[in-house]
A and B are shown apart, each in its own frame.
Chain A
Amino acid sequence: MSTITRPVEEYQAKDYKSDLKPIWCPACGDYGVVQAIYRALANVGRPPHQIAFVSGIGCSSRIPGYTTAYGFNSVHGRALPIAQGIKLANPDLLVLVAGGDGDGFSIGGGHVAHAVRRNVDITYIVMDNQIYGLTKGQLSPTSPRGLKTPSSAWGSLEAPVNPLLYVLGYGASFVAQGTPADMQGLSAVIEEAIRFPGFAFVNVQSPCVTYGQEDQQLKAHKTTMQPLSSLGHDPSDRLKAMALASEYGRKLYTGVLYRNPDPPPTFEAEARRRQEETKAQARPKDRILEMFRPQ
């Protein structure tokens, strides 16, 4: 993140809310997520025009349009590469990426590991509802084994992806989880993720009211969620974070699972350094072809 910030009091959550009316079903978890993002952005205090908000395809991928930031509602599964291109082209921007579990861990699954290791400073928020909502209720990569859906009439034969454990395993420096059932906690982890210098991942358990399971709704979250702060978890302990993450699907931990106390340099910082180191070697552009002169 760059240093161009204004005093916190200058921006309020409403400054980040656009006029577009969400297409989401009433009581969808994503309403809470977008509210939490407004709040986090207001606290960070960057003006909307300095924010690029990228998504792929899915119910949750509509989210950039509901903000006043520069939005990019792109193609299915490819938000991460686009977001990295934006940040590398202009490292002064604040770059957010959001989408669903299918977008991030199925069709776009191949990009996550590389976004992590490339370590471009972007914040990736996955709204994980364990189902494909937009296409009307098929299995998603995080659907539990045995789940019956239109595409699995007899029950799913596959084990689900564990987003938290995957991203920790890829070597991410910031991994957190939240739920709109705890708005304060959710906006706090999103804000912390945005402020983290490097690739940051937030998995949000954002239930689908139409196709989701009864026991996965926000009402249930209020009793099942366990804030990591109340468990005395040390977020600098990566192995402990992985142990907690491996309970994904059985336990709903919220808060920061892992924050690398010594984060590696970002790609764009290294790129900037390389630009500085080599710029003296640049030829005037109108004489660029002289490099092809035989000696």
Chain B
Amino acid sequence: MSDDIVIGMAGSGGDGIVSAGDAMITAAALEGYHAFLTKSFGPQIRGGESSCRVRLSTRPVLSSGGTLDVAVALNWEDFLKFGAELPVGGRTTVIYESATGVPAERLPLPGVTPWESIAVPIAEMAKKNAGTEKAKNSVVLGLLAGWLGVGRDSLLAGLRKKFGKKGAEVVQGNENAFAAGVQYAEAHPLREPRTLAAAAEAMKEGKLIVDGNDMCAAAALFAGCEFFGGYPITPSSEIMHFFGREVWKYGGTMMQAEDEIAGIGAVVGASFAGKKAMTATSGPGMSLKTEMLGLATIAELPLVCVNVQRGGPSTGIPTKSEQSDLLQACFSAHGDVVRPVLAPTSVADTFGITVEAFNVAEQYQTPVIILSDQEISQRKETVDPIDTKAFTVVERRRPTESELEKYERFKATDSGISPISHPGMPGGNYLASGIEHNERGAPTASGEVHARMNDKRIHKLDPLMRRRDLFEIEGDVHAPVALVSWGSLAGTTREALEIARREGIQAKLLVPRLLFPVAEEIYADFFRGVQAGLVVEQSHLGQLYRVLRMYVGVPAGVAPYARSGSNPILPSSIVERLRQIVLGLQRQRVAEVEPAG
């Protein structure tokens, strides 16, 4: 019996591996499990290799997990292309297509002896039971249902629904293929049973299945976003697709622009016209949007700009996750600019972060960047029901009747936030401009006014740095060992912390969801008494570590644990580093007590 299973599957494009993954997570949600589904593809538009990882658990899951418990290879060439994304270890059950002709004792997995290797005539079973090899994925689902005891009824119901449109014959064929898989599994028990424990009955209610991009777009609609302008770019396009389907229903508009600049340009215009507006892109698009972000900063116009990060620079690896646009998000600006940057840590968290991004944008009249990443944006998660009523939606500060009598768009106030009018509002007429302007909006080249306005635009954001609710801290408060992580890596690091603490390591973790401006005091409090630790992130430079070094007294023993994208960081490897850190601290202590003669 297990309570947590990680399955990795790979095949070529037409094998339906990814749709098998979709079927698994749907069945899992209906049966009350917590699950993650990550998909990974080769660069080909159609065909080529495709894979997915499904993690199923009776407890909430925070990452896609480490080494696979069950690996499914429809052919070895495609499977091996995913390398470290589908790691096979000594405890892995490998299920593979027997037609590959590879003997079980000679799998092409150098340096690894799996727990067991089972060659199954998957294609043959599909052909025999469904009359077509296309049903290979139904056989695989049957095998997994049989061996793991997961979702037999839900999977069958899913197959019926999926193939219903294609006629009774196709449905029957796939049901037969599924049943053959189940029978095969029953007739060939595993070396040790891997049956997944049943989920708690209460968990079956109301679970959602959603990926980060859809969650982001839905949250934007919830927050009152009425305009989306954007340009297709992997891996953020699904946000635009969602708006194209949904926004009209809520009285809003979507514009697929001619380029990234026009996409954010239209958003700047919509915001000027008084509407909440958003754009979404990935790294190269962010570079193109940068001038417009500067305009929104100086014109003090609210907008939300999502950057779903991928491997960079330039085209980089568009289909793989990385956290290497943090420096760009914080610092790519001409002039003195502070621009809020928020990062979700999971699909579920993407809801709150997106609503927060709109709230910050509207309250402080500033562009806000949401730094998501490919992992979160395209990963499907089971999400427990979210009580949307618990989220406040903030509207921009409009001028009152009396303020409109002698309206000053950029009026000096204690908070630095001035009432904002919009075209159509009588008496609110003003000139918005990228040129420096005085309180009334009139263009100026005065150094004095420029300094005053810079001060206003920068310091109006100060309250953000006291937003402790945008920081998650867990673990032992006084621990000498600290972890910091963000974005999709936060979940992995959280799992590492749990494992480490079970081993008796005293450690704590800080997860910033507000990355910029840097909340200096919150970090200072967290690092007090810390002797060593890791800043865990998916970038070569260790960009968060670098940013923190600019603003915060990071203890000398805290080092970056940073790797380029597409090289997964596993909870186990973080724990291993923590062990080394603890050993180092112990040696140091010994050396202090007994100085070497």
Chain B residues with CB under 8 Å of A282's CB are 249-250
A81, B274: Cβ atoms closer than 8 Å: no
B269, A54: Cβ atoms closer than 8 Å: yes
A70, B269: Cβ atoms closer than 8 Å: no
B-facing residues in A54-93 (Cβ within 8 Å): 54, 57, 62, 64-65, 68-75, 78, 80-90, 92-93
Chain A residues with CB under 8 Å of B221's CB are 285, 288
A75, B434: Cβ atoms closer than 8 Å: yes
- Contact residue among B248, B266, B385, B424 (Cβ-Cβ distance under 8 Å from A81): B266
In the complex, identify which listed stretch (A42-50, A145-153, A154-162, A252-260) lies at the interface while the others stay far away: A42-50
Say if the beta carbon of B8 comes within 8 Å of chain A: no
* A52-B423 contact given A85-B270, A288-B218, CB 8 Å threshold: yes
Chain A residues with CB under 8 Å of B269's CB are 54, 72, 81-89
B431, A73: Cβ atoms closer than 8 Å: yes
Please give me the residue from chain A that is nearest to B245 by CB atom.
A278
Please give me the residue from chain B that is nearest to A82 by CB atom.
B269
B-facing residues in A247-295 (Cβ within 8 Å): 267-268, 271, 274-275, 277-279, 281-282, 285-295
Chain B residues with CB under 8 Å of A240's CB are none
A-facing residues in B243-264 (Cβ within 8 Å): 248-253, 255, 257-259, 261-263
- B393 CB to closest chain A CB, in angstroms? 9
Say if the beta carbon of B118 comes within 8 Å of chain A: no
Say if the beta carbon of A225 comes within 8 Å of chain B: no
- Contact residue among B250, B267, B429 (Cβ-Cβ distance under 8 Å from A68): B429
B272, A78: Cβ atoms closer than 8 Å: no
Complex Cα spacing A64 to B437, Å:
14
A84, B424: Cβ atoms closer than 8 Å: no
A289, B273: Cβ atoms closer than 8 Å: no
- Contact residue among A271, A281, A285, A292 (Cβ-Cβ distance under 8 Å from B222): A285
* A93-B423 contact given A81-B269, A85-B267, A275-B251, CB 8 Å threshold: yes
* A71-B431 contact given A85-B229, A288-B388, A292-B214, CB 8 Å threshold: yes
Complex Cα spacing A218 to B261, Å:
36
Say if the beta carbon of B343 comes within 8 Å of chain A: no
Chain A residues with CB under 8 Å of B224's CB are 285
Say if the beta carbon of B430 comes within 8 Å of chain A: yes
Complex Cα spacing A164 to B299, Å:
33
Complex Cα spacing A65 to B431, Å:
6
* A292-B210 contact given A52-B273, A274-B248, CB 8 Å threshold: yes
B292, A292: Cβ atoms closer than 8 Å: no
In the complex, identify which listed stretch (B119-127, B180-188, B201-209, B502-510) lies at the interface while the others stay far away: B201-209
Chain A residues with CB under 8 Å of B425's CB are 49
- A86 CB to closest chain B CB, in angstroms? 4
Say if the beta carbon of B559 comes within 8 Å of chain A: no
B208, A51: Cβ atoms closer than 8 Å: no
Say if the beta carbon of A110 comes within 8 Å of chain B: yes
Chain A residues with CB under 8 Å of B222's CB are 285-286, 288-289
A86, B208: Cβ atoms closer than 8 Å: no
A70, B266: Cβ atoms closer than 8 Å: no
A289, B442: Cβ atoms closer than 8 Å: no
Complex Cα spacing A261 to B421, Å:
38
Please give me the residue from chain B that is nearest to A47 by CB atom.
B426
B388, A292: Cβ atoms closer than 8 Å: no
A289, B295: Cβ atoms closer than 8 Å: no
Say if the beta carbon of A195 comes within 8 Å of chain B: no
Query: Which residue, A62, A70, A73, A113, has most C-beta atoms of chain B within 10 A?
Result: A70
Interface size on A, as a range, is: 35 or more
Query: Which residue, A110, A268, A288, A294, has most C-beta atoms of chain B within 10 A?
Result: A294
Say if the beta carbon of B144 comes within 8 Å of chain A: no
A64, B265: Cβ atoms closer than 8 Å: no
Say if the beta carbon of B515 comes within 8 Å of chain A: no
- Contact residue among A68, A271, A291 (Cβ-Cβ distance under 8 Å from B253): A271
Say if the beta carbon of B227 comes within 8 Å of chain A: yes
- A229 CB to closest chain B CB, in angstroms? 34
Please give me the residue from chain A that is nearest to B426 by CB atom.
A49
* A49-B208 contact given A20-B442, A89-B227, A281-B249, CB 8 Å threshold: no
A294, B275: Cβ atoms closer than 8 Å: no
Complex Cα spacing A211 to B17, Å:
67
Please give me the residue from chain B that is nearest to A280 by CB atom.
B249
Please give me the residue from chain B that is nearest to A284 by CB atom.
B388
A294, B29: Cβ atoms closer than 8 Å: yes
* A85-B255 contact given A90-B275, A295-B161, CB 8 Å threshold: yes
A73, B432: Cβ atoms closer than 8 Å: yes
Complex Cα spacing A288 to B161, Å:
24
Say if the beta carbon of B427 comes within 8 Å of chain A: yes
- Contact residue among B210, B255, B383, B421 (Cβ-Cβ distance under 8 Å from A88): B255
B431, A82: Cβ atoms closer than 8 Å: no
Say what secondary structure dominates the interface of chain A: helix
A65, B258: Cβ atoms closer than 8 Å: no
- A216 CB to closest chain B CB, in angstroms? 28
- B384 CB to closest chain A CB, in angstroms? 11
Chain A residues with CB under 8 Å of B271's CB are 85, 89
Please give me the residue from chain A that is nearest to B269 by CB atom.
A85
- A81 CB to closest chain B CB, in angstroms? 3
Complex Cα spacing A207 to B163, Å:
69
Complex Cα spacing A226 to B390, Å:
68
Chain A residues with CB under 8 Å of B229's CB are 81, 85
- Contact residue among B218, B272, B275, B388 (Cβ-Cβ distance under 8 Å from A52): B272
Please give me the residue from chain A that is nearest to B291 by CB atom.
A75
Chain B residues with CB under 8 Å of A73's CB are 431-435, 443
Please give me the residue from chain A that is nearest to B273 by CB atom.
A89
B258, A110: Cβ atoms closer than 8 Å: yes
* A90-B255 contact given A72-B431, A78-B265, CB 8 Å threshold: no
Complex Cα spacing A7 to B553, Å:
67
A-facing residues in B195-249 (Cβ within 8 Å): 206-210, 214-215, 218, 221-222, 224, 226-227, 229, 248-249
- B536 CB to closest chain A CB, in angstroms? 29
Say if the beta carbon of B359 comes within 8 Å of chain A: no
A88, B270: Cβ atoms closer than 8 Å: yes
Please give me the residue from chain A that is nearest to B25 by CB atom.
A294
Chain A residues with CB under 8 Å of B130's CB are none
A65, B443: Cβ atoms closer than 8 Å: yes
Say if the beta carbon of A114 comes within 8 Å of chain B: yes
Query: Which residue, B250, B294, B428, has most C-beta atoms of chain A within 10 A?
Result: B250
Chain A residues with CB under 8 Å of B421's CB are 70
Say if the beta carbon of B389 comes within 8 Å of chain A: yes
- B150 CB to closest chain A CB, in angstroms? 15
Chain B residues with CB under 8 Å of A84's CB are 255, 262, 266, 269
Complex Cα spacing A224 to B26, Å:
74
* A85-B266 contact given A271-B253, A278-B249, CB 8 Å threshold: yes
A65, B424: Cβ atoms closer than 8 Å: no
Query: Which residue, A68, A73, A78, A289, has most C-beta atoms of chain B within 10 A?
Result: A289
B251, A71: Cβ atoms closer than 8 Å: no
Say if the beta carbon of B277 comes within 8 Å of chain A: yes
B29, A82: Cβ atoms closer than 8 Å: no
Complex Cα spacing A54 to B210, Å:
40
A86, B273: Cβ atoms closer than 8 Å: yes
Say if the beta carbon of A111 comes within 8 Å of chain B: yes
* A90-B423 contact given A288-B221, A289-B218, CB 8 Å threshold: yes
Complex Cα spacing A69 to B257, Å:
26
Closest 8 CB pairs of A and B: A85-B269, A81-B265, A85-B266, A89-B270, A81-B262, A89-B273, A82-B269, A114-B258
Given A86-B272, A292-B210, 6 other A-B contacts at CB below 8 A? A73-B433, A74-B434, A78-B291, A80-B262, A85-B271, A289-B210
Q: List 19 A-B contacts (CB under 8 A).
A: A70-B422, A81-B262, A85-B227, A85-B271, A86-B269, A88-B227, A88-B270, A89-B227, A90-B273, A90-B275, A93-B424, A274-B248, A279-B251, A289-B385, A291-B218, A292-B383, A293-B208, A294-B29, A294-B209
Residues on B lying within 8 angstroms of A by beta carbon are: 26, 29-30, 161, 206-210, 214-215, 218, 221-222, 224, 226-227, 229, 248-253, 255, 257-259, 261-263, 265-275, 277, 291-292, 294-295, 299, 351, 383, 385-386, 388-389, 421-435, 442-443
